[in-house]
Structure 1
Amino acid sequence: MASFWNRESGLVSVIMATYNYEKYICEALDGLKNQTYSNIEIIIIDDCSTDNTKQVIDNWIKRNEGIFRDFTYVRLPRNCSQTWALNIGFCVSKGEYIAIHDSDDISHKEKLQKQVEYLNQNYNCAVVGTGFKAFTKHINNIVYIPDWLSYNAEKIESNYKNEFKHCVCFGSILFRANILENIIGCKRFVNKANDVFFINEIIRADYIVSNLKEDLLYVRTHPERATEEYKEAMKKMKEESKKIIGKVSVVLPIENNRDSILRSLKDISDQTYSDIEIIIIDDALENSYEEEIIKWYSQYRQENPSFNIKDIIYFRLPIEIGYPWVYNVGSYLSKGEFIVFNTVNSINDNTKISKQVEFLNDNFMYSLIGTNTTEEAPVIKFDDDIEYSYTMEYTPCVNINTIMLRSVVVDHTAGMNKTIDKHEDFEFIYRIINNGYRVQNLKDVLHYEV
């Protein structure tokens, strides 16, 4: 992710998460092409669509080359939900401002310009939405104008803080990217309404949110959503994005070093635990190692009929985003009930994952388990000393490269952060402890520095 203090001034990053909207996405892009505000980058995160979305977008780009400041299309290797797709879009964005845009909606040509002007004139405001009209088939066929929006910042704040009343259209908002320094991104609290929680969290962090009293967005309604075919497709998508009980997702950001990658893969394959997937994050490296890793995995499966690595996902980012965002992206792509943070610069005892899963299964009150390690820092502590160390002494005592956490922790926190630069490890553990999650370290030395 571009540093919050090093983003491109004036640039609006439009994040469009899409899934099987080949019929509508060109209209959405046409609306953005016609914007009177020109300093725009488009970031489309395709949540593993099964239709012809990629081909449709490729054809649109050929017809409209050079229209935007930049255009990035990212196809995810598996479906992971709109929530996580948006967060991945946030990670690869470069703009001072971020706009959320549904791939079936259409923006008024002055929408972004008026929103940017509003934020430039109101430095205390962090987020601005707009009014909208709902349509079907064509924007002239208006079927609904909302009466639940609020246009006064104080009223908006009161609605969310005091009544938990939704009054801002999530798909219309433009916000200052620096709020992600605290908010990180969208959370997955429930199957629906995560957009409501996102705005609520922004307001509860004491950012000011406002709405322009102009209908600058056309929101598409879908009569076909009542059909059995649509319901079945949505059911399938939800099933695909569910966590698999007992599965461990090992997130492995790789470096430009073939030997270290193969050593890490061998180290993971030696684990005694029987249900592992590896999420490999290629942070826009100079060389791609995808073919070599696929070859390694094919050979591994041939030589190990009862293979414990059930799947390998290789995801190459379009730009370098760095630490800790690579771990967040890997976590968003994971399917496991448990998530492990790994590194190519260390090796582990072959019982490490088994012992961590066993601990979490036997101790339901705990959500994160690290291990002892040969690394000199941080000094590893145990039991109640962990919470005291983080909350009273502000001293780390959990090695981030040893941890296993329940995936629900990522669902509720969106992962790691860069609020305290160079101390991201400490901030993450500190934050989850303060959110009520319990943390422990195994006393066994199960992690070794290379």
Structure 2
Amino acid sequence: MITREKNLVSIIITSFNREKYIKDCLESILAQTYRDIEIILVDDCSTDNTLQIFNEFKREAVEKRPEMKDRIISISLPRNVGYAGPLTLGMFLSKGEFIAIQDSDDISHSERIEKQVSYLIANPQYELVGTLFSSFFDYKNGKLIGLRRPVRWIKFNEEIYKVYKRGGHCICHGTTLFRGSVFDRLGGFTRRLGKEADFEFLQKCIKNGVKANNLPEVLYYYRRHPEQMSKKDDTGGPKI
């Protein structure tokens, strides 16, 4: 039986050539009001300065918060394997009672993790919780540029099960936080799939009885830029 560290949140970030955006992403995680976290970066063989930026971030972060020395971890893959494999590896490396997902080009609200953990603690019947999110174009001097209204395709409560039952999608994977026991029980992502692996993972959770919900607050910000994997629309979800 796997023993997970109580109250710890393992935040999984995967990256490939994200030197333009990775620092903003990491700083938004370090700024979380919930302090009991570990950051696990799995880099998919980047050819730019992503890892150098990460290492500099770690050095500065540990100077400010020495307790993070062994809680900021990076793994660099020897070859590019795509989207699903690095996410699953990050989950295998996680030690936390909870696992959170964070895309390397996006930004989390400072209270995101605290509010999601609080929800799962207050509602022990739930195992996974996402949030509302908005998209933005740029981030400068701590301000989100081109911030749009929250997306409309996120659903709540019992409506979530109806949507997934008919093959739809209504939880943004990048916003999710779930109990580590979900991964221990169901495993991770299907490697043969690309970005759609996140939909399959969430669908697998729902089909296997994982009780899920979304918080009705914008706690995550999705960056719009030309290198995005998902081009279904500019918010990473189904067309509205």
TM-score by length of structure 2 reads 0.88
- Partner of residue 236, structure 2: none
The alignment status of 1:149 with 2:154, answered yes or no, reads yes
The alignment status of 1:8 with 2:18, answered yes or no, reads no
Conserved 8 A contact 2:84-2:194: no
Letter in 2 for 1:168: I
Letter in 1 for 2:136: F
Q: Percent identity?
A: 39
Q: Deviations over 1:255-311 (max 9, x none)?
A: xxxxxxxxxxxxxxxxxxxxxxxxxxxxxxxxxxxxxxxxxxxxxxxxxxxxxxxxx
Structure 2 distance, partners of 1:17, 1:140, is 24
User: For the pair shown, which has the larger CA radius of gyration, 1 or 2?
Assistant: 1
Conserved 8 A contact 1:48-1:75: yes
- Partner of residue 125, structure 1: 126
- Partner of residue 49, structure 1: 46
Conserved 8 A contact 2:84-2:193: no
TM-score by length of structure 1 reads 0.48
Matches within 5 A, 1:392-411: none
From the two aligned structures, give the one with the greater helix fraction.
Answer: 1
Gapped regions of structure 1 (runs ≥ 5): 231-450
Structure 2 distance, partners of 1:82, 1:192, is 6
- Partner of residue 207, structure 2: 204
Aligned residues: 221
Conserved 8 A contact 1:136-1:143: no
Conserved 8 A contact 1:134-1:221: yes
- Partner of residue 22, structure 1: 19
- Partner of residue 171, structure 1: 174
Letter in 2 for 1:155: E
Shift, 1:67, TM fit: 6.2
Conserved 8 A contact 1:33-1:67: no
Could you say what secondary structure the match of 1:64 adopts? helix
Conserved 8 A contact 2:44-2:81: yes
- Partner of residue 370, structure 1: none
Instruction: State the 4+ residue runs in structure 1 displaced beyond 3 angstroms.
Output: 188-192
Structure 1 distance, partners of 2:203, 2:98, is 19
Shift, 1:189, TM fit: 5.3
Distance change (3 Å), C-alpha of 1:164 and 1:142 = same
Structure 2 distance, partners of 1:64, 1:169, is 28
Gapped regions of structure 2 (runs ≥ 5): 230-240
Which of 154, 158, 162 aligns to 1:158? It is 162
**What RMSD over aligned residues (CA atoms) do the two structures have, in Å?**
1.6
Conserved 8 A contact 2:82-2:194: no
Shift, 1:190, TM fit: 3.6
- Partner of residue 434, structure 1: none
The alignment status of 1:34 with 2:35, answered yes or no, reads no
